[in-house]
């Protein structure tokens, strides 16, 4: 039995010593303020509106859902970032209503959210980024949202990180925030962020949102590159149920308040900091997946390319048969082999290996069923590791994170009615 070295934190890279967790979430970095309040979209007095603002217009970047049914706020953000060349002053976000599949009225509502926030802050509307999450196909209540935006901007402050994380939740079971202090050769800077889950927990409910900030000084083009690169192995390497949403957005603002200027030399350390925050938030999204009882790390190695490895890892992570086997603590390597074989990339079963929790269960076409009890013991925990060697001799690898599939998922999404 071999125990390959791996784990959830394995992809952050080689800058771990320079990175330390700190409090403060999305406004841990200097140069940012936020506000969160209840404006009347959600029932009761639940927080449903937040504004995250920089002290001045700063570098900004965004990545968005690849779904062709994109919600109006997603289209607006793309347009604003293109027009400004990657500059923004603030993010305005509401929960409880996704403003998706709402037609021309929805486009106007998203534009109005940006315009009202901009008017209150005294900046051009194109410097405001907009996000919405919640029910699809319902119009935003602008009569409540507009006064809420004015109150939020008037109340912007520095002690509001945790409320801001709560204000973007829909039916997430816990808020998701993380921040790190990064020590670079030119001084320290901070990266922080918040996220809400891909938990489509109420019928019609969608969206993964994440907002990051940093007080490093980063040119927009480099910030855009760092966001794309850090998301690849974090936000883009998780899956709860394979259903991408109409509203998924990850936005980042860089205030430069520390004066630490990121150039080619410091790029790797910025990337490491953004990855650390993004990975923690992404794993929290999976941990909070609907009905989830286990975090599952799927590492595929010995692939002909990184893309091949990612594709197999994603196929395994989305396999209902694998996810239900994990839920039932069944060391069912046959389902893992079958999922690997149908991913559409090079796979040599005669040279392939499957480990569960470091326990070798299948090697070169032959099962190691005597090891099943050890693997079953691992599967009874809440942090499950699956590793597959594709046997191609290619040496490339990738990791994807998912959760198990429980009867509770079906109950939440099928039996719990609107």
Under the criterion CB under 8 A, does residue 414 sit at the interface with its own copies? yes
Closest CB to its own copies among 87 and 294? 294
Among 84, 95, 102, 164, binds its own copies (CB under 8 A): 102
**Shortest Å, Cβ 328 to its own copies:** 4
Which of 161, 171, 159 has its CA nearest to residue 134?
171
Positions in 227-286 near its own copies (CB under 8 A): 241-246
**Shortest Å, Cβ 180 to its own copies:** 32
Under the criterion CB under 8 A, does residue 95 sit at the interface with its own copies? no
Do 365 and 277 meet the contact criterion of CB atoms below 8 Å apart?
no
Under the criterion CB under 8 A, does residue 100 sit at the interface with its own copies? yes
Among 20, 69, 82, 221, binds its own copies (CB under 8 A): 69
**Shortest Å, Cβ 51 to its own copies:** 27
Q: Which of these segments, 9-17, 68-76, 188-196, 221-229, binds its own copies (CB under 8 A)?
A: 68-76
**Shortest Å, Cβ 280 to its own copies:** 26
**Shortest Å, Cβ 58 to its own copies:** 32
Closest CB to its own copies among 274 and 405? 405
Under the criterion CB under 8 A, does residue 14 sit at the interface with its own copies? no
x/- contact string, 303-342, with its own copies (CB under 8 A)?
---------------xxxx-xxxxxx-x-xxxx-xxxxxx
Which of 140, 135, 96, 137 has its CA nearest to residue 114?
140
- Give the separation between CA 107 and CA 293, rounded to whole angstroms: 38
Under the criterion CB under 8 A, does residue 402 sit at the interface with its own copies? no
Closest CB to its own copies among 20 and 320? 320
**Shortest Å, Cβ 381 to its own copies:** 16
Count, residues near its own copies per rule CB under 8 A:
69
- Which of 190, 207, 214, 234 is an active site residue? 207
**Shortest Å, Cβ 325 to its own copies:** 6
Closest CB to its own copies among 84 and 246? 246
Among 64, 189, 235, 362, binds its own copies (CB under 8 A): 362
Concerning whether 392 is annotated as a catalytic residue, the answer is no
- Give the separation between CA 16 and CA 132, rounded to whole angstroms: 34
Q: Note the residues at the interface with its own copies (CB under 8 A).
A: 65-70, 100-104, 106, 135-137, 200, 203-204, 206, 241-246, 318-321, 323-328, 330, 332-335, 337-342, 346-347, 349-350, 362, 364-367, 369, 404-407, 409-411, 413-418
Active site residues: 207
């Amino acid at each position: 039995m071999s125990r390959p070295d791996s784990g959830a934190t394995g992809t952050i890279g080689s800058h771990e010593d320079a990175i330390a967790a700190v409090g403060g979430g999305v406004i841990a970095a200097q140069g940012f303020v936020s506000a969160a309040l209840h404006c009347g979209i959600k029932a009761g007095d639940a927080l449903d509106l937040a504004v995250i603002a920089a002290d001045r217009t700063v570098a900004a970047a965004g990545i968005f859902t690849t779904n062709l049914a994109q919600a109006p706020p997603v289209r607006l953000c793309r347009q604003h970032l293109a027009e400004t060349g990657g500059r923004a002053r603030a993010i305005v976000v509401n929960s409880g209503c996704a403003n998706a599949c709402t037609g021309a009225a929805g486009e106007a509502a998203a534009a109005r959210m940006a315009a009202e926030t901009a008017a209150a802050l005294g900046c051009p509307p194109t410097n405001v980024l907009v996000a919405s999450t919640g029910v699809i196909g319902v119009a935003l209540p602008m009569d409540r949202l507009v006064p809420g935006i004015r109150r939020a901007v008037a109340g912007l402050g520095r002690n509001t990180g945790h409320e801001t994380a709560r204000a973007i939740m829909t039916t997430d079971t816990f808020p998701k925030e993380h921040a790190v202090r990064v020590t670079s050769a030119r001084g320290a800077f901070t990266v922080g962020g918040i996220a809400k889950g891909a938990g489509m927990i109420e019928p019609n409910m969608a969206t993964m949102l994440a907002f990051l900030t940093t007080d490093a000084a980063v040119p927009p083009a480099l910030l855009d590159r760092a966001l794309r690169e850090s998301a690849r192995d974090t936000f883009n390497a998780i899956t709860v149920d394979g259903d991408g949403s109409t509203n998924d957005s990850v936005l980042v603002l860089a205030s430069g308040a520390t004066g630490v200027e990121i150039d080619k030399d410091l790029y790797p350390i910025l990337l490491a900091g953004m990855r650390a925050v993004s990975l923690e938030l992404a794993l929290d999204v999976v941990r909070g997946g609907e009905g989830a009882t286990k975090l599952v790390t799927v590492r595929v190695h010995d692939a002909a390319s990184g893309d091949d490895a990612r594709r197999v890892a994603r196929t395994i992570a989305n396999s209902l048969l694998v996810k239900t086997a994990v839920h039932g603590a069944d060391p069912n390597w046959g389902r893992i082999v079958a999922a690997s074989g149908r991913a559409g990339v090079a796979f040599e079963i005669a040279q392939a290996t499957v480990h569960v929790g470091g326990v070798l269960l299948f090697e070169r076409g032959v099962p190691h069923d005597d090891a099943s009890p050890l693997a079953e013991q691992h599967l009874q925990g809440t942090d499950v590791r699956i590793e597959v060697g594709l046997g191609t001799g290619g040496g490339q690898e990738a990791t994807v994170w998912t959760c198990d599939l429980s009867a509770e998922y079906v109950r939440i999404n099928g039996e719990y009615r609107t």
